Structure 1
Amino acid sequence: MIQTYANGNWSINWDEVAVSGIAFLVAIALGYIAYLVVFKIVSRIARLSDVAVDEIVVRRIRQPIKWSFLAIGVTLAAQTDPVLRELWEPLARFLRPALLGWIAYNVVRGLTAAMELRMADADPVASRSRRTRVAVLSRIVVFAIVVITVGLMLFSIPSVRAIGTTMLASAGLAALAIGAAAQPALKSLIAGVQVALTEPMRIGDMVRVDGDTGRVEEIHMSFVTVRTWDDRVLVVPTSRFLDETFENWSRLDETLTGTVFLHLDPITDVSPIRAEFERYIETHELFDGRSHGLAVTEAYPESLELRIVVSAENPGDLWTLRCDVREHMMAWLRENMEEVLIRHRLEVPHGHPKAGEP
C-alpha cells in the first residue's frame, strides 16, 4: 500500500513509491526497446514483400503498437510490484480497449488505403464499383469498432457498469426505447450496406437528382455528396437513392447519346442540312463515332422540328459536343439557308391606309 495508517495519521511510504517509480521507468524503457526491435524486423519484412499492402498497414499501426508495447511492459512490471499494480490496474482497464480499438481502426484504414491504391490503375467502371464497396463497408466497420471500443471503455468504469446492470434488469423496456431511438441510425446503416452491395450508384458516377447533375464524391452511411458542374455540393440522404428514382448517367460506362433540336420553317429542304451535319460531325474531335443522325421528328403548321443525335465518350464531352453542333448548324443556316429560319411576319393588304407609310 502507498499509504499506511499509524497513530491516527496517514503516512506515505516513500521507499515503496521510489521502487515502484524505478520499476515503471524500467518497464517503459524495456517496452520501447522491444517495440524498436520488433518493428525493425517487421518493417524489413514488409519492405521485402512485393505487395504494397504490407508496408501501408505497418506504417498505419506503428503508433498504436508502440503505445501497446509500453502498456504491456508496465502491466508485466505491475505483476511483481503491488504498489505499481494498485496504481496501474484501474488505468489499464480503461486503456486496453482503447489501444485495441486504435489498432483495429488503423488496420482497417490501412487496408482501405492499400485497396484504393491497387484500384488506381484498374478499369474506370470496375474501379468505381470496388471503391464504393470499400468506402462504404470500411466506414461501417470503423463505426462498429468505435462503438464497441467506447462501450468497453465505459464498461470498465464501475459506476457505468452499475448503471448497465440496472438497465439489464429492465431489458424489455430498454430494448423498446433503444430500438425506437436507434431507428434512423439503423435505417441509415442498412441503406449504406444496400448501396455497397447493390450499387445503384458508385463513387465517380454522374447522377441527376432533383434536376441537378453532378459527380458522386463521397458515400457515407447516412448521406451522399454530389458535386455539380458549378461546384455546388448536394448532400442527399443515402436512403433516398433506394426509395426514390434518380438518373445514373454512367452506370455501365461513360458513353452517352444526346440530342440537339432545331425548329425551322415548313418550307425547309432537309437534305442539305443533313449533309452538312454529317460532314461536320465526322470531323469533330469529341464525336466517338458510335451514333449520329438527323431526322424530322415533328411537323407543325408553323415549323418543322429536326432532331440531331450525337454521341460522346463521357457526359462532359457530350455537353460540349451538343453546344458546338447547335452553334455550327445555326451559323451555317444563317449563311446558306437564311430563308428557313423562322420569322414572325405581318402581312398588310395593299389597300390598307398604312401600306404606303415608311
Structure 2
Amino acid sequence: MADWTVIRTYALPLGAAILAGFVVWTLMLWLFRRTQGRDYRRARIVRVVSLPLAFFLPLLFLEMALGATPLDGKALQVMQRLLHVGVVACLTWLLVRAVAAGERAILRNHPIEMADNLAARRVQTQTRVLSRVLMGVIVLFGVATVLLAFPQARQVGKTLLASAGIVGLVAGIAARPVFGNLIAGLQIALTQPIRLDDVVIVEGEWGRIEEIGSSYVVVRIWDERRMVVPLSWFIENPFQNWTQRSADLLGTAFLWLDYRTPVAAVRAELERICRESPLWDGRVCVTQVTETSEHAIQVRLLVSARNSGDAFDLRCIVREHMIDFLMREHPAALPRLRAEMVDPAGVPQPARGGGPADIRSPGAEDGAPG
C-alpha cells in the first residue's frame, strides 16, 4: 500500500513546481511566437525576456521545490547544483539579450544613413563598444558563479592563490593582449579617436571603419578588401582620420605647365568647373602657382567637397576638364622640353626648322629612349 505521507512530502512540491513550470513555459513560448514580426516597443521587450524566462522560471520553481522536500545527502546536492547551473545560465542569457536589445534600440534611434552623421556615429561607436564589454563582463560573472558552486573549483582557486606569484606572472603575460584590447576598447569608446564609418588611412590604405568589435576593428578598404586591426593598434600607433571633426575635405590637383600658361584663364576655368559640378560644396576653389623649375611651373587646383568620396571624384573631374580646356584653348600652356643645339666648336646653332614657333627638341614627345 502506498505511503501517502511520503507521496505528499515529495510529490506535492515537485508536482506543483513541474505544473507551474509547464504553464509558465507554455505561456512564455506563446508570447514569444505572438510577438514575432511586430516592431513596436512592447513586442520587442516581450521577445527579449520571454524566451530566457521560459526556461529560467521552471528551473527556479524546481530548485525551490527541492528545498521543500526532505531530500538530503549527495543526491540532493547533485540535483541542486545542476539546477543552479541552469538558473545561472538562463539569467546570464537574459541579461545578455537585454544588453543587445538596448544596443539595437540606441542604434535604431541614431541612424548613420544621412549626410551629417557625426553625432550619430559617435553614439553608435560608444554603444557598440560598451555593449560588447558589458556582455563580456556578464558572461564572465556567470561562469564564475557557476564554478563557485562546485567545491573542486573553489579548491582550484585556493591553490592558485597560494601560488599567486608565478601563476599571476604567467597569466598576466598570457592575458596581456586580451586585457590590452579590452582597455583599448574602453578608451576608444570614451575618447573616440575612431567611430563607425570614419574615413581613415591605416598602414597606407584608404578605407572606412566598418565594425568595432571587442578585440579588433574591421576597416573596409576602397576596393572592397577588409583589413582587421587589433583595437590596441589605434591607441599605440598614429593614423589619419579624415572625418574626426567633420566630413568636409579639401582636394588638390597638381598640373605641371609651361611658363606661357595664362594663369588667369586657368583660374576662371576652374571656377566654371566648380560651379557646374554638384560635388563642389561652395567653400574653396583656388588656383595657385606653388612651384617653379627650369622647365615648367606647378599649378595647384584646390577645391572642397562634402566628404572624401566627393573630393576624390571632384579632383578627377577637375584634372580631366582642365587638361581638355588647355588642349583646346591654350595648347602652348602644355609642358614641353626646350633645347639649344651646339656645334662641335661650341657655337650655338638655331634649332632645325628655323621658325620661332619650333621650340621643341626633335623626338621629345616620344619620351626616353627605349
Question: What TM-score, normalized to structure 1?
Answer: 0.83
- In the aligned structure 2, how far is the partner of 1:284 from the partner of 1:262? 20
- In the aligned structure 2, how far is the partner of 1:219 from the partner of 1:42? 31
* Counterpart contact for 2:60–2:87, Cα < 8 Å: no
Shift of residue 27 of structure 1?
A: 2.8
* Counterpart contact for 2:295–2:336, Cα < 8 Å: no
Shift of residue 94 of structure 1?
A: 1.8
Shift of residue 119 of structure 1?
A: 1.0
- In the aligned structure 2, how far is the partner of 1:178 from the partner of 1:87? 32
* Counterpart contact for 1:206–1:249, Cα < 8 Å: yes
* Counterpart contact for 1:56–1:113, Cα < 8 Å: no
For 2:125, the equivalent position in structure 1 comes to 132
- In the aligned structure 2, how far is the partner of 1:102 from the partner of 1:137? 18
For 2:82, the equivalent position in structure 1 comes to 91
For 2:272, the equivalent position in structure 1 comes to 279
Shift of residue 246 of structure 1?
A: 0.8
- In the aligned structure 2, how far is the partner of 1:142 from the partner of 1:101? 9
Q: In the alignment, is residue 166 of structure 1 matched against residue 133 of structure 2?
A: no
Indicate the larger mover: 166-175 or 213-222.
Answer: 166-175
User: SS of the counterpart of 2:193?
Assistant: coil
CA 1:279–1:182: 2 relative to 1, 3 Å: same
Q: In the alignment, is residue 71 of structure 1 matched against residue 59 of structure 2?
A: yes
Q: Map Cα deviations across residues 110-129 of structure 1 (whole Å, 9 max, x no partner).
A: 11111111112785100000
Q: How does 1:281-320 map to 2 (within 5 A)?
A: 281-320=274-313
For 2:18, the equivalent position in structure 1 comes to 28
- In the aligned structure 2, how far is the partner of 1:202 from the partner of 1:125? 9
For 1:8, the equivalent position in structure 2 comes to none
- In the aligned structure 1, how far is the partner of 2:184 from the partner of 2:319? 42
* Counterpart contact for 1:262–1:307, Cα < 8 Å: yes
Question: Which amino acid in structure 2 is aligned with residue 146 of structure 1?
Answer: V
Unaligned 5+ segments in structure 1 are 1-12, 45-50
For 2:100, the equivalent position in structure 1 comes to 109
Q: Map Cα deviations across residues 237-295 of structure 1 (whole Å, 9 max, x no partner).
A: 21221222111111111111110111101121211111111112111111110111101
* Counterpart contact for 2:118–2:246, Cα < 8 Å: yes
Question: Which amino acid in structure 2 is aligned with residue 28 of structure 1?
Answer: I
CA 1:21–1:335: 2 relative to 1, 3 Å: farther
Q: In the alignment, is residue 118 of structure 1 matched against residue 109 of structure 2?
A: yes
Shift of residue 196 of structure 1?
A: 0.6
Question: Which amino acid in structure 2 is aligned with residue 266 of structure 1?
Answer: Y
For 1:254, the equivalent position in structure 2 comes to 247
* Counterpart contact for 1:53–1:114, Cα < 8 Å: no
CA 1:210–1:180: 2 relative to 1, 3 Å: closer
Shift of residue 32 of structure 1?
A: 3.5
Indicate the larger mover: 191-200 or 19-28.
Answer: 19-28
- In the aligned structure 2, how far is the partner of 1:140 from the partner of 1:210? 27
Question: Which amino acid in structure 2 is aligned with residue 73 of structure 1?
Answer: F
- In the aligned structure 1, how far is the partner of 2:220 from the partner of 2:11? 57
Q: Map Cα deviations across residues 277-316 of structure 1 (whole Å, 9 max, x no partner).
A: 1112111111110111101111111001000011111111
Question: Which amino acid in structure 2 is aligned with residue 279 of structure 1?
Answer: R
Aligned residues: 338
User: SS of the counterpart of 2:302?
Assistant: strand
Pairwise CA RMSD? 3.4
- In the aligned structure 2, how far is the partner of 1:87 from the partner of 1:195? 45
User: SS of the counterpart of 1:61?
Assistant: helix
Q: How does 1:212-231 map to 2 (within 5 A)?
A: 212-231=205-224
CA 1:247–1:63: 2 relative to 1, 3 Å: same
State percent identity of aligned pairs: 35
- In the aligned structure 2, how far is the partner of 1:21 from the partner of 1:230? 68
Q: In the alignment, is residue 100 of structure 1 matched against residue 91 of structure 2?
A: yes
* Counterpart contact for 1:32–1:69, Cα < 8 Å: no
CA 1:42–1:346: 2 relative to 1, 3 Å: closer
Shift of residue 191 of structure 1?
A: 0.8
